Amino acid sequence: MRIGVVVNPVAGMGGRVGLKGTDGKVQEARERGAEPRAPGRAERALAQLYDAAPETELLAWGDPMGASLARSVGFDPEVLGGPSDEETDATDTITAVEAFVDAGVDLVLFVGGDGTAADVAEALDGSEVPMLGVPAGVKVYSSVFAVSPEDAAVIATTFERTEPREVMDIDEDDYRAGEIHPELRAVAQVPVAEDLQSSKQTSTGTVEALAAGVADDIRAETGVTYVLGPGSTVGAVKDELGIDGSPLGVDVYRDGELLVRDATEAEILEQLGETNVIVVTPIGGQGFIFGRGNPQLSPDVIRRCDVSVVASRSKLDTIPVLRVDTDDTVLDEELRGWTKVRVGRVERRMMRIE
């Protein structure tokens, strides 16, 4: 099999520093101390790919878009070209994918987020070559991504057919302002596999009783630092607490006071005390509680907190399992297993984290 690999090296950089994306914000992300996320996730996928199928004919794009990462895990890739400038952009991704198609690849494996997916789909328009994403962005709404980097490698080496899947994207400026307007950017051929995530579902059902119960419990605790994640379900909890929380960011709350609104990873860590609780809700249709849309909740933050998962019954009806993808495989394994999800004022439902 011939696989073309392209990496968006800045995908996901804005997440942990509170930027909710990197479009037009790369320099600001760096000034805030952001570290690249995509290269590490690309290396994980490529290492699994090499272990599973070292005979794969790998085509790559020049650094920092994948060539050295492929070599680091054992491949000797055919490098077809490279970025036109030190700072890569969408044009580089499109040019790389077009070169892969001309070279007769069987699959384009890309590393990035929804914006990268839209660029890849644009380059593949009119082609029969399928695409598959290694998730590395802050926002991953599209259904063209594998659940994890390792899953992407397994799918790439075992798929037998493809099906049309949606490429979605949202305006990051609107996203930072607390508004989500998903837009269908393309429909692309994607390998058929169980380990593909679904598109983000926005309908969650009523959460009033759930939010009231969670808020009552939070008010009853003293000295406990609550890290309140993004999403409409936890947003309802913030409303019940009477705070002006960030609808799509992470807020830190203790003893009736909003300590930090729309906090970065560093700000969260600074506020944590002896007893800390993260309150998160899974993404509807996907099931992720960590690793999609909330990179501020880093492994360092999660390890210092208990985790409380909340969701409406209607949301859980769209999710067979919960998922985690924290960039720390040891932590992911520690989080896996059965957990109680609060679904009402007092009611809980058992769900498995995978």
Averaged over successive runs of 10 residues, the pLDDT of the chain (354 residues) comes to: 95 61 57 76 97 97 96 97 90 97 98 94 95 87 90 95 86 54 82 76 63 94 96 92 91 97 95 97 91 92 97 88 94 95 90 94
Read off the tokens for 47.
């290492």
- Distance linking the first and last C-alpha atoms of the chain: 29
pLDDT tens digits for range 239-253: 999 999 988 899 999
Enter the pTM of the model.
Answer: 0.68
Contact indicator for 134, 120 with CB cutoff of 8 Å: no
The count of other CB atoms within 10 Å of the CB of residue 54 is 11
Structure confidence at residue 181 (pLDDT)? 57
Structure confidence at residue 84 (pLDDT)? 85
What's the chain's average pLDDT? 88
Structure confidence at residue 247 (pLDDT)? 81
Identify each DSSP E strand in 122-206 by its residue range.
131-135, 162-169, 183-191
Radius of gyration for the alpha carbons in the chain, expressed in angstroms and rounded: 20
Residue showing tokens 């419990």: 217
Structure confidence at residue 187 (pLDDT)? 87
Structure confidence at residue 33 (pLDDT)? 61
Structure confidence at residue 25 (pLDDT)? 56
Residue showing tokens 């949301």: 315
Structure confidence at residue 253 (pLDDT)? 97
Structure confidence at residue 31 (pLDDT)? 59
SS3 111: strand
- Closest-CA residue to 252 (of 76, 266, 151): 266
Structure confidence at residue 138 (pLDDT)? 74
For residue 200, what are the contacts with CB-CB under 8 A and spacing of at least 6?
Answer: 141, 168, 182, 283, 284, 285, 286
Structure confidence at residue 185 (pLDDT)? 86
